[in-house]
Structure 1
């Protein structure tokens, strides 16, 4: 399948964001990580959508990939500010995904 590696990286990022989202909701004081939670959702949804768009050979892959880069970078920047392992792992996945999506733009 075309872009198989990017599809796998998108999927890994979606999983990392969903895990971070859920783990953040388990924290005692979620108000200081509210933006992290919000961006985890945005990023997971965008990665999932782009993964589907690539699989169906959407004519909008380049545009969607550009948006995905922006969202992944925003999520990664937010997550890296938090010390929890799930946030650090999510940040790494987001930055890797942003780099992979740049190949599609």
Structure 2
């Protein structure tokens, strides 16, 4: 497949990684940081996985589809965690994770 075939998924992965980075940084500024520990950890994992998925797609790796299936799973996990918190940054991250999971599932199908 050509990189253009992956572009919408690459874009979703990059947007999700950025949202996760923002969410993690914002969670660190919350009053009860300890309560946000799982959210921060899932954000960091998700951002890294999304960036690797985007990179694999960009170079047309034969492992892109398999990795995107994993990326979708990690995004759903992160989105579920972020969705538990009412802060805007968590809700925005949860939405980005959902969009990315859907894009990765579609790409990997």
TM bracket (short chain): over 0.9
* Structure 2 Cα separation of the partners of residues 38 and 80 of structure 1: 14
Q: CA RMSD in A?
A: 0.7
Equivalent in 32, 39, 42 of residue 39 of structure 1: 42
Structure 1 residue runs of 4 or more that deviate by more than 4 Å after TM superposition: none
Counterparts in 2 of 1:1-105, with a 5 A limit? 1-105=4-108
TM-score (norm 1): 0.97
Q: Which runs of 5+ in 2 are unaligned?
A: none
SS of residue in 2 equivalent to 1:21: helix
Partner SS, residue 18 of structure 2? helix
Write the distance in 2 (CA, Å) between the matches of 1:22 and 1:34: 11
In the TM superposition, residue 104 of structure 1 has moved relative to its aligned partner by 2.0
Structure 1 residues 11-47: Cα deviation after superposition (integer angstroms, max 9, x where no partner): 1101100000100011121111110000000000000
Distance 2:5 2:59 in 1: 10
Number of residue-to-residue matches in the alignment: 105
